[in-house]
Amino acid sequence: MDKNSVVIAALAITAVVVLAAAYCIGNDRDDGDIADQYWYQVGYYGYGLDDGEVEYHSSDEYDHYGAVYDLTVFSVSDGMFCGEYYGCNITGTYADDQIRFMGYYDGATIYFCGTVQNGMLNAIAMSSYDSGLLSVYYTVYSTDLDDVGRNISVTDISGSWELSDAIAVTEDGTLTPLGTGLEITEQNGAAFTGVMEQQIDGETVETNVMGTFTGTSSDGYQTAYAIDSNSERWDLLISEDRVHLMTAEFDDGAGLVAVERTYTRDGSPVDTPVYNELEGTQWTEVSGQNAVFWNTYTETFNDYVLTFEERTGNVYSGTIRLNGTESFMTAYSLGSTELRVYSEYKDEPLLVFCDLVGDELTMTEYFTSVTLGGQTAQVATMVQDVRIPETLAGTWSSMYSWVIYDDGTSFFGKINDPEPNVLLVTSP
């Protein structure tokens, strides 16, 4: 990301998602499956929060659906795409039949993720509007306008839940966040709403929460996304006996913080699996690429370095380096292959979504770049051991050198030294 870029994938104040200024995609990239397609919104089910009131909305209430939420995909290139949504140009990622994008579009910060199955696109759309309106919808798309999208059957999570365990990781260490109650007051198929107690600026606060199941699973758990009345996004893993929530945010009292909460019906303890053990590992960028609106794809390199220093449960603390600037980061594992990383870059929130595939960590960042010309998606491939190309392996002798002396003078030219400077490059 260049110095004229403004990161928009933040949560809490400026974003609606926990899912990433950066989202990591896998190696199995599907090019062309969705390209040159116009996707009609043929169904939606979810909740909106406006002026403190939560209301349920569905496409069952209407005879037709507004074209403003239709999705057009212009082109796909190596796991990235350019298109149009909400009347705006968009860029995003498409891999393993999953499509994702996020950004600030015409007065709304929108996060969109979906899965293509049997010619239909089932997606989650989370939005935070400048007017204060918040919404989260389970939406269904088809290339055939005559298709009808349906709600889905999922686990019934309505009713009361009690906190079983909770941790929060900050730059100053680990603490136990306040707030124990979770009440799901209403559920309509995939969509649900309720009230959750949580810690805000050192105090216990009761917040409205709205969410929806994705229709997919991870490590045996059904997955869902939620947003609360503070525009904070939560990732959920759900089974019959527990609700597992995770998020990362900036708290005025604690600074950067990642939170993991587990609820059961009576608060009884349960074993929460540890999805990854990445503490003590460092990941270095080896390649990157951009997708800029109007079908422009370019190679890029931002010198990303992720260092996972400590782990508590499924939550990490460490550092992230971007273009030579190193900052504290928090992160958490959402299943065995997905991670979220949250930090700051040049005083702007930085949210990164990552996938761990084999020996590679792949991450995508969404931001607005003045230099690149608008809304941009950026993918970086990272490895633990930096790979040296075989063509570089061997012994290299210096022919010319640039020398700066203590007195400030310098010299550039060929050095006539009987033992010239030697650089030895070995293959890993």
Structural contact between residues 58 and 189, judged by C-beta atoms closer than 8 angstroms:
no
Per-residue pLDDT tens listing for the chain (428 residues): 433 332 222 233 233 333 333 333 333 444 446 777 899 999 999 999 998 899 999 988 765 555 678 899 999 888 899 999 988 889 999 888 889 998 888 888 899 999 998 889 999 999 999 999 999 999 999 999 888 888 898 999 999 999 999 999 999 998 888 788 999 999 999 999 999 998 777 788 899 999 999 999 888 899 999 999 988 899 999 999 999 999 988 776 668 889 999 999 999 999 888 999 999 999 999 999 989 877 889 898 889 999 999 999 999 999 999 988 999 999 999 989 899 999 988 877 888 889 898 899 998 888 776 666 667 888 999 999 765 555 555 666 665 566 666 666 666 565 555 444 544 444 44
CA distances from 343 to 19, 258, 313, 357, 427 (A): 13, 10, 19, 22, 34
Q: How many of the other CB atoms lie within 10 Å of CB of 186?
A: 13
Q: Residue type for 105, please?
A: Y
Q: Residue type for 308, please?
A: F
Q: Using alpha carbons, select from 249, 227, 223, 266 the residue that is nearest to residue 168.
A: 249
CA distances from 116 to 64, 96, 215 (A): 22, 9, 11
Distance of CA 406 to the CA centre of its chain: 48
Distance of alpha carbon 77 from alpha carbon 72, whole angstroms: 15
27-59 CB burial, b ≥16 within 10 A, e <16? eebbeeebbebebbbbbbbbbbbeeeebebbbb
* Bridge partners (DSSP) listed for residue 357: 360
Q: Residues 290, 293, 297, 298: is their CA dihedral positive or negative?
A: negative
> Which backbone phi and psi does 69 adopt, to 5 degrees?
-100, 10
pTM of the model: 0.81
Distance of alpha carbon 75 from alpha carbon 69, whole angstroms: 19
